């Protein structure tokens, strides 16, 4: 069956791999990127599509509310043209390493919160409210085990603002899950999930941490695992690892 997915933060890394696998599996994708003209690898994927609506690419700067609103409007227009959105993946994220609590500046902290917490939540809010008659099936936030309070490791140096921004994301998405359930009706069928993609070899992970990262994986393995989890899990507000293990928070 062909579904329409929205992937936000699709220019490279895990987001780009989501688009690649979804297109390969026969789905339609509406991809949100910060700068369309710089999304070379995504534009290359689109160039192989047989019809333009298989892969729609639109600007969505997750730190800019006007850009998010325009993107949501475009998704709404696509739905009216027949591309009703089934699943939404909020993947865009930033890690400016290191971001220690004892050192970071106000703007550095704010950038992590804007990109990793506020933008994804506001974007999901605008998308979920587009059509009360047909809310999405799944809203998936790409979080991180760095945002888990129970998995906190005091030797994981340099991840203060990043971890805090993902912890706040986890809390807000649970509120979103509970609020949609309380709305009742069709809204209560929408399932909100948080996912840890694993330690994935992307640009974000290409930093000298000063310690060995064990068990890191490629984007294709991470995304194949996450797509399976997204298909199978339906407990709204829950937090999963890419390989199907429940992440306690």
Residues that bind ligand NDP (CB under 6 A): 9, 11-15, 34-35, 60-63, 91-94, 115, 142, 144, 196-197, 199-200, 202-205
Q: How far is the CB of 188 from ligand NDP (least distance, A)?
A: 27
Q: How far is the CB of 92 from ligand NDP (least distance, A)?
A: 3
Looking at the Cβ atoms of 117 and 135, the one nearer to ligand NDP is 117
Q: How far is the CB of 89 from ligand NDP (least distance, A)?
A: 10
Q: How far is the CB of 57 from ligand NDP (least distance, A)?
A: 12
Looking at the Cβ atoms of 8 and 135, the one nearer to ligand NDP is 8
Going by C-alpha positions, the residue among 34, 5, 2 that lies closest to residue 226 is 5
In three state form, how does the secondary structure of the chain look? CCCEEEEECCCCHHHHHHHHHHHHCCCEEEEEECCHHHCHHHHHHHHCCCCHHHEEEEECCCCCHHHHHHHHHHHHHHHHCCCCEEEEEECCCCCCCCCCCCCCCHHHHHHHHHHHHHHHHHHHHHHHCCCCCCCCCEEEEECCHHHCCCCCCCCCCCCHHHHHHHHHHHHHHHHHHHHHHHHCHHHHHCEEEEEECCCECCCCCCCCCCCCCCCCECHHHHHHHHHHHHHHCCCCCEEEECCCCECCC
Looking at the Cβ atoms of 7 and 177, the one nearer to ligand NDP is 7
Looking at the Cβ atoms of 93 and 160, the one nearer to ligand NDP is 93
Looking at the Cβ atoms of 49 and 217, the one nearer to ligand NDP is 217
130, 131, 134, 135 alpha-carbon torsion, rounded to 10°: 40
Contact 170, 147 (CB under 8 A): yes
Q: How far is the CB of 213 from ligand NDP (least distance, A)?
A: 8
Looking at the Cβ atoms of 15 and 136, the one nearer to ligand NDP is 15
Q: How far is the CB of 167 from ligand NDP (least distance, A)?
A: 12
Q: How far is the CB of 143 from ligand NDP (least distance, A)?
A: 7
Looking at the Cβ atoms of 42 and 135, the one nearer to ligand NDP is 42
Query: How far is residue 11's CA from residue 75's CA, in Å, rounded to a whole number?
Result: 18
């Amino acid at each position: 069956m062909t579904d329409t997915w929205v992937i936000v933060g699709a220019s490279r890394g895990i987001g780009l791999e989501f688009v690649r696998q979804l297109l390969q599996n026969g789905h339609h994708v509406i991809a949100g990127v910060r700068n369309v003209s710089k999304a070379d690898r995504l534009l290359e994927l689109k160039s192989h599509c047989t019809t333009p609506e298989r892969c729609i690419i639109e600007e969505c700067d997750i730190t800019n509310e006007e850009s998010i609103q325009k993107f949501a409007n475009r998704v709404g227009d696509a739905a009216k043209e027949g591309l009703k959105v089934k699943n939404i993946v909020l993947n865009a994220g930033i890690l400016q390493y290191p971001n220690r609590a004892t050192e970071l500046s106000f703007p550095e902290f704010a950038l992590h919160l804007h990109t990793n917490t506020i933008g994804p939540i506001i974007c999901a809010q605008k998308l979920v409210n587009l059509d009360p008659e047909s809310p999405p099936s799944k809203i998936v936030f790409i979080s991180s085990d760095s945002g888990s309070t129970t998995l906190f490791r005091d030797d994981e140096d340099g991840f203060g603002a990043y971890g805090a921004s993902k912890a706040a994301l986890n809390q807000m998405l649970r509120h979103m899950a509970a609020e949609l359930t309380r709305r009742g009706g069709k809204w209560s069928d929408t399932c909100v999930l948080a996912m840890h993609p694993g330690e994935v070899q992307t640009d974000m992970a290409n930093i000298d941490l000063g310690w060995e990262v064990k068990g890191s994986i490629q984007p294709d393995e991470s995304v194949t695992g996450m797509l399976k989890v997204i298909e199978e899990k339906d407990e709204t507000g829950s937090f999963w690892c890419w390989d199907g293990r429940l992440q306690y928070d």
